[in-house]
Structure 1
Amino acid sequence: MLEESVTSDTTDLKDDFHQGYRNRFSAIPWDVPYRPPLDHPKPKVLGTQSAVVCGPEGEEIYCDQYGRVKVQFFWDREGKHDDMTSCWMRVASSWAAETFGSINIPRVGMEVLITFLEGDPDQPLITGCLYHGANLPPYKLPDFKTLATVKSKEYKGSRANELRIDDTTSEISIALRSDHGASAINLGYLTHPRPSGGQPRGEGFELRTDRHGAVRAAAGLLITTEPRPNESKHHKDLPETAERLATASDQQDGFAVQAKELQAQEAGDQDDVAKALHAQHQGVLGSGPANLTANEFPEFTEPHLVLASPAGIALTTPRSSHIATGEHLALSSTGHTSLSIGKRLLASASRGMRLFVQSMGWRLVAASGDIDVRALKDSINLLAKLNITANADRITITAKTELVIQGGGSATTYNAGGITHATSGPYTAHAANFAYTGAKSLAGVFPEPPKPGKGNLELFNQYAGRQGIKEGDYEVIDALGKSIKGKLDGKGFASVAGAAPGPAQVLFGKDPADTWSDGSYIGKPEWPLNPPGPEDVPSQVQAMVAQVLPSKRWDMLEKGKDMAQTGMSAMQTAQGAMQTAQQVKGVVQGGVAGLPKLASASMPSASGLLGAASKAGKLPSLPAPSLPKPSLKTPGLLAGEMLS
């Protein structure tokens, strides 16, 4: 719009003449297209309409990245119920936000209800879904009108997932179910499915599946039948359980003290167990503030698993059971502990067995078979304050070297030298007849100790880089003191059979590649943390040079040896010479064929040593040693012998 006007004022005085120009206009940006105003209003759609969700052939769920779907209206006679029938239409949701909310995509074939924002036909919106004669509800109505459910259907399948709420009078329940593995969580009044009769199945909760199951709690787990009506306490409240654990721990401590006082146990036998039990009890009690208003409660200090019941715990299986602990196992009962075993009771202890009875005695009865008590390495000691009674048809006492019977200050000794009776009082013997027929000896027959089981012990001796020490010696001392010796294979491995069950001691010999290194020694590396001191240099240098130089030239090195002890540089060079000496020894053991390698390896180290020593003082010149050309035909030279 442009407006213009011209004004003119004239007077008699020419100097007072005025003339002006004025305009007014409206403009739009250059890059904005001009559109003329709409003189006709846009059509509006009044009310809502229904349609059927459609999509490509064979597709059950068809949508875009925004969850929009396509539909075909019932009045559309030209539509083909495919993905080209309509534009994308948004679907209303009860909760929608960025990356969270609720979503239920209408599926192909569902009837939906469509409204239009402000009646605009270009802004359709799906607000809900409708059941009809072809799409019936999940449950028959009105028979199961008390059921509220959210039930889905497997994509291109027949199975389903369901959240079902049952509001039947006095029988309310809720279930979360999946047809995969018949997995379900059932809460409340448990029944079979209502459409199948709804027979009662119990009350409470049920977590079940036909597949695998797991209960995992990284901070700890409490499984208990202690009642807490109406959620009246902290969800891990367990004072009764903690009290029972404390009582059991005190009982363990009390019996342990008595056992030590009566020498049934050695001091410290149960200290580790007691410490572990007390620590576990404190961990179950928990730590932290107790502030109910801030939802702060003492929590497990470690991820304990606690099982508790005021009535009892029953464990049963038709197969085998195994309880394994990495540390200690403690069993406590204030009443009886009963073991009923169908076959054998087998108990093995690596470090001894101690049994203590506070009162009422200890009884061992074999209804049939022998009672066999053996000490394969040490003694059997019997001690009684009153009597030791043995009743049998025949009692045999046999001693391999000597039998001594003592009582009241009198004694009888039986050994290979004869029989000696000793008493400070009268000696009385009653017999109908005495017969002395001459000397006779009857040696006792002793059963051989049982041979230990042929268990296998695998040995590995490796460098830090996991490379095996080849053909090293080893010695195994088993639990009975038997020594088994042998050699490792080329990979530093050996399998030892015949050792007695129990703890064993293993010793490895020298490293064949470095005989100065003890294979059984594990400590700090000697290089470079602990270099040889001055007192170590002369003997090592002397041993190395003596193999390389003729004996007649040894005197020329005495001065160099003394200077090497005073110079730090000579010490460092000697370390390299020590390593070379190891190579020299390996070459010498390899025979004459290794002499060229011997010469080439030894000369640089020897001359380097002399060069370092010369810095401390002048040394006479030393010619290089002359070595004969190695040959297997050298007369008088054995394989592995050093030339001199």
Structure 2
Amino acid sequence: MSWNTQARTLEVSCEAFPTYRGEPVFVATRLAGTEKLGRLYDYEVDVSTIEADGLYISELHKLVDVNKLVGKRMTVRIAIGGNGTWQNGLTLDSGVNFGADIREITGVITEASCLGAEAPRRMFYRFRLRPALWLTSLNRENRAFMDKDVVEITREVLKKYPIEVRYRLSGPGGQKSYYPKRDYTRQWFESDWNFLDRLWQEFGVTFFQQGDALVLFDNASWKKHGPAYRTILYLDRGGQRIDEEHVHTLKLSRALTTGQTTVTDYDYMQGESHRTYTVKMHRDASHDNAEEYIQADYAQPLQGAMGVNGQRNDEQYEARLLARVRVDAHRCKSMRIKGEGNLRGLMTGYSFFLEGYPYQPANAEYVVTGTTIEIVNNDTVTQGGGLKRQYTCKTKFTAQDANEVYRTPLKAKKPRAFAETAIVCGYDNSVVTTDPLARLRLWFTWDRKGQRDGQATCWVPLAQPWQGTRRGAIWIPRVDDHVHVGYYNSDPDRPFILASHTTNDNKTPWDLPANEALSGWRSQDIGRKSGSASNSVVTDDTPGRLQVQVTSDHANSRFVAGFNTRIDGNKGRTEARGEGIEVATDAHAVMRANKGTLITTEPRSGATAPALDRGETVQRLAQAAEQHDVLAAAAVQAGAQQSQDRHELGQPLKQQATEIGRTGDDGLGGPSEPHLVLASAADVAATATGSTHLHSGRHTALTSGEHTSVSTGGNLFASARKAIRLFAYQLGIRIIAYAEDINISSLKKNLNLLAKLDITQSANRITIKATEEVMLHGGDSYISLRSGKITVGGGVYEVNAQANNLPPKPMGVNANGLPDVQANDQLFRVLSPTGQPLPGVDYQMIAQSAGHIFRTDELGRSPALNTVEQESAAFQLHWDEFSAARGEVNA
């Protein structure tokens, strides 16, 4: 490009500039400002109005409206005159001033002001020019980004701004071309500029302006200047004058910097490990390797959308990346050059070669990290007065070695987060949405864009009052609960739930202040219905009426200890119900103790004795066992029991009392065996609407100091596999049947009635039957009834009766099957179809008055059936014992 294509050094253009007769009314007079890598440039652009026929100040007031200029895009063009030399190989004028070019600075007019007027025709204005990126500093935003890296966040933030962005990003290094994603990144009530600035600084991204474009880069591949500034000559002010723009003042500086960064962070997904990572860039200068130890943000505890199912980040790599960026930022400040010259085309972010400096190592390639420039244009009119404006250009610059990576100085500070409010949310219609770590999804009350659902935020950990390895206490807030949110180390990227709080909808478990004495917790089932059932653990500190309740609305189950006052749902305390302990439920109740149970009403005031103290109980059991043994000994002596029976029962009772009194090895006075001991300081009463069944695998003993009474509304049954022994030591035994018979039978052996004095039998009739013989003994006399033969023995035989001889009649049975002789009798005989007698056949006899079952004798006969009156009787055989037709005989 020819060096003289632009008439003046500075030109300015803007679509919003007013025109007069087709020409813009403004011409540039001065440009001054500062530009740095990674910073928003700030330029002042002074303009004056043109001189034209008919254009006066009064007319300019109508043409120029600064309100219409603010916010408009403006471009400043700086003519670069080339290096003033001939370029060999080029023909004609193309070789003159090689490198002549136009430098453009395009930005937004952020401020416009009128500097005054030069009567009668000219006015002067000043515009403040900032890059389009500066627009991001005007807002304040509060939002969160999930599962995004620094580049993705940058794109999302900048998409609403009129900014052309060129991404010259090679990645963070370490053979990775992508930046690590963050589970959760928060923009905390800060401008988009402050937010992006601190992110870029954290991950080593910087920027510069290239015309109208924003260039983001993270490496040392610098863009080179055009031919005019590819090489810049150093020439001291005292040297010869040349036409080429050059550096006339230069200072090379070397400074001590931090040379080592160690970072730390805490990842509760790897809670047992505490790892730090160090990156250092050693230099041999003294004190040039100081270490900084900081908290970095490389722990990513799987809080993103995938939660615990997500992929773990490369912690070591990301930690070293953040540490390396900080070391680079420190080290790149250690070697800098600062210079001055008439360098109107020197641009920040571009590299150049320095030549001609007396200190030869300084002649190298540098990248411009910052410039401060002031260019004054020649005036457009001939000055007749004292104000003379001539062209000048003053440029100050800083630069660093182009072979070193540049990092923006670490000046951005992450905001310190404070407690916030949020509402628990979840998926679909779930009442509780959580993950294996009891983390929750939240919707922050400041969030004006996010949906109130399971994607509103990351998985937020819940602070619990106590949490250990499978131990602790946990209360998981439900969907729609309101919570306070805090931040680890005040880092807005690391939220956690502090606690729940009340609102007009989320009220206290019990009405307050009416229930101010109640403390505890109350949960509800996770159904969606209002007024759902609940569980609660409550302490009631009402003076004089202390109580503790553990209750569940399921089956109306409750445990109450203390002064029993009903606690009714939301209403809280209501009527008094008693005092002590109540265990109640509408369902089942089980009390199980593997080492034994003591239920007692023996008093232990003040609970000073061991809980299992049972001295009175053991004493009473020992006395009962002794009473059992003494009476059993009397029964043995009387022949009611055998000595073996006494020991079989007496020893276990004594052993039981001893074991219940013996303490185990726990040092707490507990019994050595898992006994169930029931003791009362007064009486024990047990009742059942249905039946009561007591069972013992070994012995059952009932002992009473006075009487033992058994009363039954039905029958009294006693069955013993071996023997029944009844013994009364002092008084007698009475067995009386009021309405029916008393039957005493010995089915296999003898029936012995023994009395020291008399045996008295009294009845309307006494029947004595023996199959073989009836023997009556009275002193030395006897009567023997044997097989139809009567034998009377004695010294004297006397008979006093009226004589009446009848024919002999054998003994039979009555309708009940008992021996009897009556006037009416009937004999049956059972024969086979061939006429042979059938002995040993069971049959059933059914008469009008009664019935019985018997068996035929060896001749197939039944005993004679004797009845007082004539009756009909049915004779039925049991044919299941042999094969024959069923027969039935009526008499």
Under a length normalisation based on structure 2, what TM-score does the superposition of the two structures give?
0.44
SS of residue paired to 1:174: strand
Matched, 1:240 2:616: yes
Stretches of structure 2 lacking an aligned partner (at least 5 in a row): 1-251, 255-282, 292-315, 331-408, 819-854, 856-879, 882-891
Who wins on radius of gyration, i.e. which is larger?
A: 2
Asked if structure 2 preserves the Cα contact closer than 8 Å seen for 1:183 and 1:210, the reply is yes
The match for 1:494 is none
Matched, 1:166 2:533: no
Asked if structure 2 preserves the Cα contact closer than 8 Å seen for 1:95 and 1:101, the reply is yes
SS of residue paired to 1:230: helix
Matched, 1:126 2:511: no
Q: Deviations over 1:79-122 (max 9, x none)?
A: 22233333444433323344433333333322222344554433
The match for 1:368 is 739
CA distance in 2 between counterparts of 1:115 and 1:197 reads: 35
For 2:741, give the aligned amino acid: D
Matches within 5 A, 1:583-594: none
Shift of 1:298: 4.2
CA distance in 2 between counterparts of 1:100 and 1:115 reads: 24
For 1:36, give the aligned amino acid: A
CA distance in 2 between counterparts of 1:190 and 1:175 reads: 9
CA distance in 1 between counterparts of 2:426 and 2:764 reads: 99
Shift of 1:390: 2.1
Shift of 1:313: 1.6
The match for 1:186 is 560
CA distance in 1 between counterparts of 2:460 and 2:791 reads: 118
Segment drifting more, 233-242 vs 74-83: 74-83
For 2:638, give the aligned amino acid: L
Indicate the structure with greater helix content.
1
Matches within 5 A, 1:49-68: 49-68=420-439
The match for 1:354 is 725
Q: Deviations over 1:504-534 (max 9, x none)?
A: xxxxxxxxxxxxxxxxxxxxxxxxxxxxxxx
Matches within 5 A, 1:60-99: 60-99=431-470
Of 573, 579, 584 in structure 2, the residue corresponding to residue 208 of structure 1 is 584
For 2:622, give the aligned amino acid: A
Of 682, 693, 700 in structure 2, the residue corresponding to residue 322 of structure 1 is 693
CA distance in 2 between counterparts of 1:115 and 1:287 reads: 54
For 1:353, give the aligned amino acid: I
Cα 1:211/1:288, change in 2 over 3 Å = closer
CA distance in 1 between counterparts of 2:588 and 2:791 reads: 77
Matched, 1:36 2:403: no
The match for 2:634 is 258
The match for 2:812 is 445
Matches within 5 A, 1:514-533: none
Q: Deviations over 1:116-137 (max 9, x none)?
A: 4554433444323221222221
The match for 2:595 is 219
The match for 1:104 is 475
Cα 1:84/1:274, change in 2 over 3 Å = same
Asked if structure 2 preserves the Cα contact closer than 8 Å seen for 1:161 and 1:177, the reply is yes
CA distance in 2 between counterparts of 1:440 and 1:420 reads: 18
The match for 2:575 is 199
Asked if structure 2 preserves the Cα contact closer than 8 Å seen for 1:48 and 1:113, the reply is yes
Matched, 1:332 2:703: yes
Asked if structure 2 preserves the Cα contact closer than 8 Å seen for 1:400 and 1:444, the reply is no
The match for 2:211 is none
For 2:545, give the aligned amino acid: E
Shift of 1:304: 1.3
Query: Higher relative contact order by CA 8 Å / sep ≥ 6: 1 or 2?
Result: 2
Q: How many percent of aligned residue pairs carry the same amino acid?
A: 33
CA distance in 1 between counterparts of 2:785 and 2:691 reads: 53
Indicate the structure with greater strand content.
2
Cα 1:197/1:151, change in 2 over 3 Å = closer
CA distance in 2 between counterparts of 1:96 and 1:334 reads: 57
Asked if structure 1 preserves the Cα contact closer than 8 Å seen for 2:558 and 2:585, the reply is yes
Asked if structure 2 preserves the Cα contact closer than 8 Å seen for 1:399 and 1:444, the reply is no
For 2:590, give the aligned amino acid: A
For 2:543, give the aligned amino acid: T
The match for 1:286 is 662
Cα 1:398/1:177, change in 2 over 3 Å = closer
For 2:774, give the aligned amino acid: L
Shift of 1:247: 1.5
CA distance in 1 between counterparts of 2:436 and 2:429 reads: 20
CA distance in 1 between counterparts of 2:649 and 2:731 reads: 26
The match for 1:48 is 419
SS of residue paired to 1:244: helix
Shift of 1:266: 2.8
Shift of 1:57: 3.9
SS of residue paired to 2:645: coil
Cα 1:109/1:270, change in 2 over 3 Å = same
Q: Deviations over 1:32-57 (max 9, x none)?
A: 64442544241434753323333434
For 2:587, give the aligned amino acid: R
Asked if structure 1 preserves the Cα contact closer than 8 Å seen for 2:432 and 2:477, the reply is yes
CA distance in 2 between counterparts of 1:400 and 1:112 reads: 98
Cα 1:44/1:228, change in 2 over 3 Å = same
CA distance in 1 between counterparts of 2:518 and 2:536 reads: 12
SS of residue paired to 2:812: coil
Cα 1:85/1:450, change in 2 over 3 Å = same
Shift of 1:198: 0.9
Cα 1:258/1:450, change in 2 over 3 Å = farther
The match for 1:303 is 674
Cα 1:449/1:119, change in 2 over 3 Å = same
Aligned-CA RMSD value: 3.5
Under a length normalisation based on structure 1, what TM-score does the superposition of the two structures give?
0.60
Cα 1:64/1:422, change in 2 over 3 Å = closer
Shift of 1:378: 2.2
Asked if structure 1 preserves the Cα contact closer than 8 Å seen for 2:612 and 2:669, the reply is no
CA distance in 1 between counterparts of 2:653 and 2:624 reads: 9
CA distance in 1 between counterparts of 2:543 and 2:488 reads: 42
Asked if structure 1 preserves the Cα contact closer than 8 Å seen for 2:424 and 2:482, the reply is yes
* Count of aligned residue pairs for this structure pair: 428
For 1:190, give the aligned amino acid: N
SS of residue paired to 1:128: strand
Asked if structure 2 preserves the Cα contact closer than 8 Å seen for 1:191 and 1:198, the reply is yes
Matched, 1:228 2:595: no
CA distance in 2 between counterparts of 1:94 and 1:221 reads: 34
Shift of 1:218: 1.0
Shift of 1:288: 4.2
SS of residue paired to 1:249: helix
CA distance in 1 between counterparts of 2:435 and 2:779 reads: 107
For 2:533, give the aligned amino acid: R
Shift of 1:322: 1.8
Cα 1:430/1:197, change in 2 over 3 Å = same
SS of residue paired to 2:548: strand
Of 746, 757, 765 in structure 2, the residue corresponding to residue 394 of structure 1 is 765
Asked if structure 2 preserves the Cα contact closer than 8 Å seen for 1:72 and 1:81, the reply is yes
The match for 2:649 is 273
CA distance in 2 between counterparts of 1:113 and 1:399 reads: 100
